[in-house]
Amino acid sequence: MKLYGRYLSPFVRRVAVSLNIMQTPFEQVVVAPFDEWEKAQSINPVVRIPALEIDNGEVIIDSTAILDHLDEVAGANSLLPQRGQPRREAMKLVATAVGAMEKTVSAVYEGRFHAPEKIEASWVERCENQALSALKALDVVASKTNGEGWLYGDKISQADISAVVALTFANIARPQMNASDQVPNLSKLAARLEATEAFQSTMP
Ligand SMILES: N[C@@H](CCC(=O)N[C@@H](CS)C(=O)NCC(=O)O)C(=O)O
């Protein structure tokens, strides 16, 4: 199995951490879509990462589709509840975390692709506030775990993985957001999980 992408991408990293937690061996193939258009395009027509090449040679694109496949294969060891209200609740937490990733990425791209005088500060501020709003919603959920449990259910789930990856990405890519200071409970969960091998081995 080959995972295409860089761990600085939170979408790639949440797949890598999930593979580690599922104890599924994989090879990382580093692809930087902004520097390697042709290589990235040959793997994913959208020219984005992540993509996952599975053992029969098929390539799955988009972290949500990749994780959906991994969960399907994992069956009872899936990182999300299989159906019904538990699945909807956990998926809502995951969507909140992924939303935080997307809005942090948008704030980063605005600075990366515009000359300083052309950066639209109100757009950057909106993106950062949306990312922080999402992280704070996860922090409220984390506050109920007493620093020990999980965001959903009684074992680690995709909600924990994506929430922690989203927070660490915000801290690295947008330190001026001061995200950690504003989400103390989620930060405790992040400190706990980032210390584990599954997360450590994917640190950007
Ligand atoms: N919805 C996609 C988002 C993937 C994404 O935006 N990846 C970024 C890296 S963080 C990328 O490849 N950006 C290159 C581009 O958009 O041109 C997913 O979940 O995989």
What digits encode the pLDDT tens for the residues 24-58? 999 999 999 999 999 999 999 999 999 999 999 99
Give the position, in ligand 1's atom list, of the atom nearest the Cα of 40: 12
Nearest to 16 by CA among 180, 174, 203: 203
Number of Cα atoms under 13 Å in the Cβ half of residue 42: 5
Domain boundaries, the chain: 2-77, 84-196
Residues with CB under 6 A from ligand 1: 9, 11, 33, 47-50, 62-64, 105
Strand-pair category, 51-53 with 27-29: unpaired
Q: What is the mean pLDDT of residues 93-107?
A: 98
On whether the CB atoms of residues 123 and 110 are closer than 8 A, the answer is: yes
Identify the residue whose C-alpha is closest to ligand 1 atom 16. 48
pLDDT score of 164: 98
- Report the chain's mean pLDDT, rounded to a whole number: 97
CATH 1.20.1050.10 fits 84-196, yes or no: yes
On whether the CB atoms of residues 96 and 5 are closer than 8 A, the answer is: no
3-state helix, strand, coil split of the chain in percent (to 5) is 65, 5, 30
| pLDDT band, residue 145 (cuts 50/70/90) | confident
User: Which helix (H) or strand (E) is 28 found in, with range?
Assistant: strand 27-29
Q: What is the mean pLDDT of residues 131-152?
A: 94
Q: How many angstroms separate the alpha carbon of residue 51 from the centre of ligand 1?
A: 10
pLDDT score of 148: 87
pLDDT score of 85: 98
Nearest to 159 by CA among 100, 72, 84: 100
Rounded distance between C-alpha atoms, residue 92 and residue 112, angstroms: 30
CATH 3.40.640.10 fits 2-77, yes or no: no
The model's pTM is: 0.97
Answer whether 2-77 and 84-196 agree in fold: no
Q: How many angstroms separate the alpha carbon of residue 32 from the centre of ligand 1?
A: 11
Q: What is the mean pLDDT of residues 121-132?
A: 97
